[in-house]
Structure 1
Amino acid sequence: MIFKTFEADSFEKGLKLVKKEMGPDAIIVSTRTKKPNILKGSFSKKIEIVAAYDDGIYSSPTSSPLLNKSDLSSAKTTGKEYGYFNKERRKHSYSFVNHFSKRNSSEEDENFLTPLFDSYFKNIGDFEKFFKTVGIYEDIIGILISEISPYTSRNYNLSTELKQKAVLNKLSSLINVSSPLTIPENGQRIIALTGPTGVGKTTTIAKIAAEMHFLKGKKVGLVSIDSYRIAATKQLKTYADIMDLELKTAETKRELQKAIKSFSDKELVLIDTAGHSHKNTERIKEINEMLKNILNIETWLLIAASTKTEDALNIVNEHLAIGLSGMIYTKLDETSSYETLFNTSLVSGLPVFYFTTGQEVPQDIEEASAKKIVNSLFNKFINNNFNYKTLEN
């Protein structure tokens, strides 16, 4: 692995230098702000970026699917259209530089101490133990090992800190996190939220509506097609009244089309769908019939963070017929273990837009963070091992 240090007036300019000289697959291993050195004629602060690039000792990952169709079927996912294992998904997967360029240099620090990293991860076998211990989906462990093995090799002789950052960044880069919700100039986005009963669709719609309307000044219209739960429509009506937003209800496809057409002056239209079990295929078909063939509509699937991986993959699989455009993970405040988020993100390949962290509207929502998911896995592993060793003593 080749390392190089870059200096620039800003983080953005530094990233451009890294991309220009080392390409989009370079790894950002560290950044720091250098104070002015008046004695050397430097009167302004500089940003120092240390980057690394694989010089070819290890072959790059294949662009062909890493799981065959039968494997993906057992994983309860599509195989062709979605997934980190899909050719197009891998082709467009985040590089380290692109991942960092979308976040500033004040990215949240890792939540475990660097010295512990070498204590628990002495060789690649320890990483396999880690993945199994924290509940990573068995079929992808071998793939993850091959992805991180270059950065754990003694041939690279990385320091503990650089090794830790490289592994964290690599695992984070595999999660398809979307940029914040934006509205094209003179355009409109129509987004329907779907998912199991009790996952928090109605409150999530209210949170997104509040953010886009009050913080970003967008014109927002709300539609409810949940004819099964009168309470849900009343709840959304209450939020709409508080935010002074227009709410329309629709029980048929024609009524939905009419409602959307009436919101032609709105920049964002949010649609609340009926909650259901992922096993209720008839209800899912009803939602699909309501939403399909509506021009430019996006469908985001909501999954609670406390859902078991197998159930989450089943939920994704059963909703694929609707034509999913992205995901939101809800109720992160109810669990500190995010292996389901990691597994579902990698297997589905769907972009993740938001996390919700409580019931409060509008504050309990945040942009999705791949690092938050990955850090939680390491924290879980180290805490479990620490508690185990304490019991032994």
Structure 2
Amino acid sequence: MKVKKYTASSMPEAMKLVRGELGSDAVILNSRVVQTGGFMGFFKKNSIEVIAAIDPDTEASQKPASMDKPYKYKPSVKDDESKKDSQTVRMNPKTETPPKADKDLLKEISQLKEMLKGTGKSEGVSLPEPVSRQIQYLRDQEVDHEIIDELAAVLLEKWYLGGAKASEEEITEWIGTAIGHRLSPLSFEGVSFKKKFVNVIGPTGVGKTTTLAKVAAECVLKHQKKVAFITTDTYRIAAIEQLKTYAKILDVPIEVCYNLDDFKAATDKFAEYDLVFIDTAGRNFRNQKYVNDLKNVIDFGKDIETYLVLALTAKQKDMEEIRKQFSLIHIDQFIFTKLDETAVYGSMLNMAIKFSTGIAYLTNGQDVPDDLIEANPEMIANTILGASTYE
């Protein structure tokens, strides 16, 4: 691969220089306005600086495969082995160097990745068309641009090492594998059964009570655990009655707690139970006052696992604000609800990476206990890439 920098007075002139030396198959990696000339700091002119690249052995591109049936990422044996390397927290998976790979080519690819990283935005770089379409799909899924930049660097490396030709199905496979590697160091285990108390918190309208009932039902029916309910949601009578209904169906006890003394009494009462599920009031947790109120009712010093429930229909900025408000409370994992009410899933990946927090469950409906899905990196990748279906 040949990489060159060109400076011209206009973009048409720069493109003329690129085509004249590198040919029509050249790829524009970056372009920007620079100032040249001048005298003693004055009278400088604006010019266009273009970085372009060409693979001399590039063959005529083939028609890409249809995206009607997107690739479904499945972890390979190498994926499983890579999970053992828990200290590798990065987007770029380990890549085996082809036996005949030219060292100069690898060096140039590394330079390309650094240039891409340096731009700060992958949309500022002209990518090979099949790669560009896949990157645009990730933008449509509202994946953060920093993550997209990392993925674009991975795709460029694989694209050129593979001879600058690959089907869109292969490129999607690369993306799925990269996402799986990036998420693999995080926890995706759901209820661990290592702690007695399971607490769900979150804003109004995300479905906390129903989600709590789904997880409790799974523990009763699938794992034969002896469980009990505590609710601190004393702001809505309907919420108490809803959880009482679930408790009656599952034949488990329930206690309503109005303050910290009630909470301590309830935990003592349920001392012999395997798991105690705690429901909390849905409040506007963008207001720190309500977070403090929550701490006045629940003893977070207990042997407790806490899950932050967020709806995938919410704006990511609001999700981030809520997560930051809980900075003084340890959040073990996220639970994302309303999977069935949206077609955009990038916020799951964004939140997990931004806050280094795994995902326990997704919910895709109101049915208890059926509409509960245990999350894992493979499933998250497939969901974002449109390769998972949930009935």
Query: What's the TM-score once normalised by structure 1's chain length?
Result: 0.63
Matched ranges for 1:11-160 at <5 A: 15=77, 19=81, 24=84, 53-55=95-97, 122=129, 124-155=131-162, 160=167
Q: Tell me if structure 2 keeps the 8 A contact 1:306–1:340.
A: no
The 2-side partners of 1:18 and 1:361 are apart by 32
Which residue in the other structure is 2:208 paired with? 201
Larger Rg: 2
Which residue in the other structure is 1:359 paired with? 366
Q: CA offsets, 1:355-376, max 9 Å, x none?
A: 1111111111111143444334
Partner SS state of residue 297, structure 2? helix
Matched ranges for 1:170-319 at <5 A: 170-175=178-183, 176=186, 178-184=188-194, 188-319=195-326
- Amino acid of the residue matched to residue 195 of structure 1? G
Over the matched positions of the two proteins, sequence identity in percent amounts to 28
Q: CA offsets, 1:54-111, max 9 Å, x none?
A: 3495899xxxxxx9xxx9xxxxxxxxxxxxxxxxxxxxxxxxxxxxxxxxxxxxxxxx
Q: CA deviation at 1:235?
A: 0.7
Query: What's the TM-score once normalised by structure 2's chain length?
Result: 0.63
Tell me which moved more, 281-290 or 359-368.
Answer: 281-290
Q: 1:332 aligns with which of 328, 339, 343?
A: 339
The 1-side partners of 2:155 and 2:260 are apart by 48
Q: CA deviation at 1:122?
A: 3.9
The 2-side partners of 1:152 and 1:52 are apart by 15
Q: CA offsets, 1:271-325, max 9 Å, x none?
A: 0011011323211111133335422212110000111111111121122222211
Unaligned stretches of 5+ residues in structure 1: 1-13, 26-50, 61-66, 72-119, 381-393
The 2-side partners of 1:158 and 1:183 are apart by 48
> Compared with structure 1, are the counterparts of its residues 293 and 179 closer, same or farther at alpha carbon in structure 2 (3 Å cutoff)?
closer
The 1-side partners of 2:319 and 2:283 are apart by 14
Which residue in the other structure is 2:349 paired with? 342
Which residue in the other structure is 1:109 paired with? none
Unaligned stretches of 5+ residues in structure 2: 1-75, 86-92, 99-105, 111-116, 121-126
Q: Tell me if structure 2 keeps the 8 A contact 1:223–1:247.
A: yes
Tell me which moved more, 135-144 or 211-220.
Answer: 135-144
- Amino acid of the residue matched to residue 274 of structure 1? A
Partner SS state of residue 226, structure 1? coil
Q: CA deviation at 1:131?
A: 3.4
The 2-side partners of 1:18 and 1:278 are apart by 38
The 2-side partners of 1:16 and 1:142 are apart by 24
> Compared with structure 1, are the counterparts of its residues 230 and 303 closer, same or farther at alpha carbon in structure 2 (3 Å cutoff)?
same
The 2-side partners of 1:172 and 1:335 are apart by 22
Tell me which moved more, 214-223 or 131-140.
Answer: 131-140
The 1-side partners of 2:95 and 2:179 are apart by 16
Q: CA offsets, 1:337-368, max 9 Å, x none?
A: 11222221221221100011111111111111
Q: Tell me if structure 2 keeps the 8 A contact 1:225–1:273.
A: yes
Partner SS state of residue 298, structure 1? strand
Which residue in the other structure is 1:31 paired with? none
Q: Tell me if structure 2 keeps the 8 A contact 1:337–1:376.
A: no
> Compared with structure 1, are the counterparts of its residues 351 and 377 closer, same or farther at alpha carbon in structure 2 (3 Å cutoff)?
closer
The 2-side partners of 1:169 and 1:245 are apart by 42
Which residue in the other structure is 1:166 paired with? 174
Partner SS state of residue 178, structure 2? helix
Q: CA deviation at 1:158?
A: 7.7
Q: Which has the higher helix share?
A: 1
Q: How many residues align?
A: 281
Tell me which moved more, 311-320 or 123-132.
Answer: 123-132
Which residue in the other structure is 1:88 paired with? none
The 2-side partners of 1:373 and 1:221 are apart by 31
The 1-side partners of 2:328 and 2:129 are apart by 44
- Amino acid of the residue matched to residue 227 of structure 1? T
Question: Which runs of at least 4 in structure 1 moved beyond 6 Å after TM superposition?
Answer: none
